């Protein structure tokens, strides 16, 4: 098999959570370009539905197949409902857990409501998706799970205690599942972006970006498209012997 063929995802189906914009969108478009059918998840607001529909149209205009699925991850049983809806459309071969929320605040000000919401969206619902979708991958003998972590899992910001903790827990889960399913054709890896300029952190980067760039060997902030190559590798046969890895895409910041 040629290296080009190893990257092909023809006849595979990928579910990318939080795929309506930024990092999720970039990964979804990449997997579609490699031939996968794409389930584009969004949280269900009118704005998010419009964004997700735009991603679907872009994939279809390029000759691909895609469908949008709405599910608010803060709701009870959200992961099971989303897994059932997407599986009724097509069996899921690739699961990219990208959707998450961060509610920055000083640790002494963390409220029960903010804590519970971040746990629900960042951990509880992803766990339900893993429980629902990974065993069928193992039964078919092929699967890819890619979680989108963060530099926060190792370098927590003082005002992101809960968010950073969920990302650290997610990485722990991925190592656990990699050991359980690695012999069944399923790889489980974590892709940890560094300082990627997105709508969510644009205001923060306007204040902290210049100082942060001085600590990044690449000399710049990252962009969502910087994650495309790593995602393609870890979601395809090209990465079949990569399992249980935490891959930083951070311009070298982790090395400093």
Supply the residues annotated as catalytic.
150, 163, 167
Structure tokens at 238: 């090209």
Q: How far is it, in rounded angstroms, from Cα 66 to Cα 205? A: 33
- The DSSP output letter for 238 is G
Cβ-in-10-Å burial (0-12, 13-18, 19+) of 84 comes to: exposed
Residue for token pair 């009724």 = 88
Q: How far is CA 167 from the centre of its chain?
A: 11
Indicate the angle between helix axes 112-119 and 161-181, nearest 10 degrees.
Answer: 30
């Amino acid at each position: 098999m040629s290296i080009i063929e190893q990257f092909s995802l023809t006849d595979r189906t990928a579910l990318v959570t939080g795929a309506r914009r930024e990092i999720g969108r970039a990964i979804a478009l990449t997997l579609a370009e490699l031939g996968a059918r794409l389930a584009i998840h969004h949280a269900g607001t009118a704005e998010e539905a419009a964004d997700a529909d735009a991603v679907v149209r872009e994939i279809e205009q390029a000759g691909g197949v895609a469908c949008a699925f709405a599910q608010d991850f803060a709701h009870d049983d959200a992961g099971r409902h989303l897994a059932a809806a997407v599986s009724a459309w097509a069996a899921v071969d690739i699961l990219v857990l990208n959707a998450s929320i961060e509610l920055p605040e000083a640790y002494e000000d963390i409220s029960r409501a903010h804590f519970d919401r971040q746990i629900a969206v960042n951990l509880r619902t992803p766990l339900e998706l893993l429980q629902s979708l990974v065993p069928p991958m193992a039964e078919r003998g092929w699967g890819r799970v890619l979680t989108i972590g963060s530099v926060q899992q190792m370098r927590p910001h003082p005002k992101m205690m809960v968010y950073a903790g969920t990302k650290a827990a997610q990485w722990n889960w991925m190592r656990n599942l990699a050991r359980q399913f690695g012999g069944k054709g399923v790889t489980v890896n974590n892709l940890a972006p560094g300082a990627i300029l997105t709508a969510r952190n644009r205001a923060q980067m306007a204040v902290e970006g210049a100082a942060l760039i001085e600590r990044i060997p690449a000399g710049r902030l990252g962009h969502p498209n910087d994650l495309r190559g790593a995602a393609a590798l870890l979601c395809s046969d090209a990465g079949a012997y990569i399992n249980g890895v935490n891959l930083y895409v951070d311009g070298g910041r982790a090395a400093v």
